[in-house]
Amino acid sequence: MKIGIIGAGHIGKTLAKKLINAAYPVILSNSRGVESLQPLVKELGTLALAGTNEDAAGSDLVIIAVRWEQIPEVLDKLKKQLAGKIVVDASNRPNKGAPEKPSTAVVAELIPDAMVVKAFNTLFARTLDAEPTVNNGKRVLFLSGDQPFAKESVAKIITQLGFAAIDLGSLKQAAPVTELGTALSGLNLVSYPS
C-alpha cells in the first residue's frame, strides 16, 4: 500500500519516517515543489519519493499534514481525486474563538466523497517520533471516522507502527475530546497489557 503525505513538515516527516520503518512506500509533497524535497527523500531512503500534491493524492491512502490555514486550498484542488479514498486528517485547528463546527466536520465537508479518518493529531510530533514501546506498554494513538472499513485500515497501520490504536467512534463523537485544547489533545498515554 503506497501512502501519500501532503505536507512534509514536523508531522509529515515524522510519519514518513515511521511508515518507511514499517516498510510502507511513501510519496511526500509540500508547497515548494519536488526539488525542495530531495534532501528529505534521500535521508528517508529508497521507499520515499517526492511528488506534487496530485501525485501524493494518487496514493492508496492519503495523509493530510498541512497547517489549518492551508487545508481549504489544498483539499479544494484534490476533491475529485480523493473521492472514494481513505484520507487521514492529522491537522489541528488553532484554538481561537468559538468555532461553529468541529475542525473534522470542516475537513469532511471539503472532501465529501472521501473516507475521512482523524488520526495522528493528538500527539506532538516529537512524541510521535519517540519509541512507541514504553516498558511493556505501547503509546496510544486515537482515531475516529464514519466508515468502519477506513478506520480498520488506519488502525492496522497504527498497530504496525508499534502504537496502540484506540477508536473513539465517529468524527462527531470524537471531536469534543480531540480538538486542540480538549481532553485528549497532547496527551501522551501508554496502554499496558491487562
Ligand X SMILES: NC(=O)c1ccc[n+]([C@@H]2O[C@H](COP(=O)([O-])OP(=O)(O)OC[C@H]3O[C@@H](n4cnc5c(N)ncnc54)[C@H](OP(=O)(O)O)[C@@H]3O)[C@@H](O)[C@H]2O)c1
Among 2, 20, 34, 68, binds ligand X (CB under 6 A): 68
Measured from the CB atom, the residue of 61 and 74 that comes closer to ligand X is 74
Please give the helix or strand (H or E) that residue 50 lies within, else none.
strand 48-50
78 binds ligand X (CB under 6 A): no
Cα separation, 45 vs 110, in Å, equals 33
Choose, by CB under 6 A, the member of 4, 7, 51, 102 that binds ligand X.
7
* Chain-centre distance for alpha carbon 153: 13
Cell 486528517 belongs to residue: 89
CB of 72 to ligand X, least distance (A): 10
Which of these segments, 38-46, 85-93, 137-145, 167-175, binds ligand X (CB under 6 A)?
85-93
Between residues 7 and 102, which has the closer beta carbon with respect to ligand X?
Answer: 7
- Residues 34-53 binding ligand X (CB under 6 A) are 53
Exposure of 96 by Cβ count < 10 A (0-12 exposed, 13-18 middle, 19+ buried)? exposed
Element (H, E) at 41: helix 38-44
Q: Which residues contact 122 (CB under 8 A, 6 or more apart)?
A: 141, 142, 178, 184, 185, 186, 187
The reply on whether position 90 binds ligand X by CB under 6 A is yes
Rank residues 66 and 154 by Cβ distance to ligand X and give the closer one.
66
Say if CB 103 and CB 179 are below 8 A apart: yes
Closest to ligand X by CB, 60 vs 73, is 73
Pick 109 or 149: Cβ nearer ligand X: 109
> Cβ 194 to ligand X, closest distance in Å?
28
CA dihedral 192, 173, 176, 167 (to 10 degrees): 20
> What SS3 class is residue 61?
strand
Lay out the site mask for ligand X across 15-34 (x = CB under 6 A, - = otherwise): --------------xxxx--
Q: Does 2 bind ligand X (CB under 6 A)?
A: no
Instruction: Quote the CA–CA distance of 192 and 194 in Å, as a whole number.
Output: 6
Contacts with ligand X, residue ranges (CB under 6 A): 6-12, 29-32, 53, 65-68, 70, 73-74, 90-92, 121, 124-125
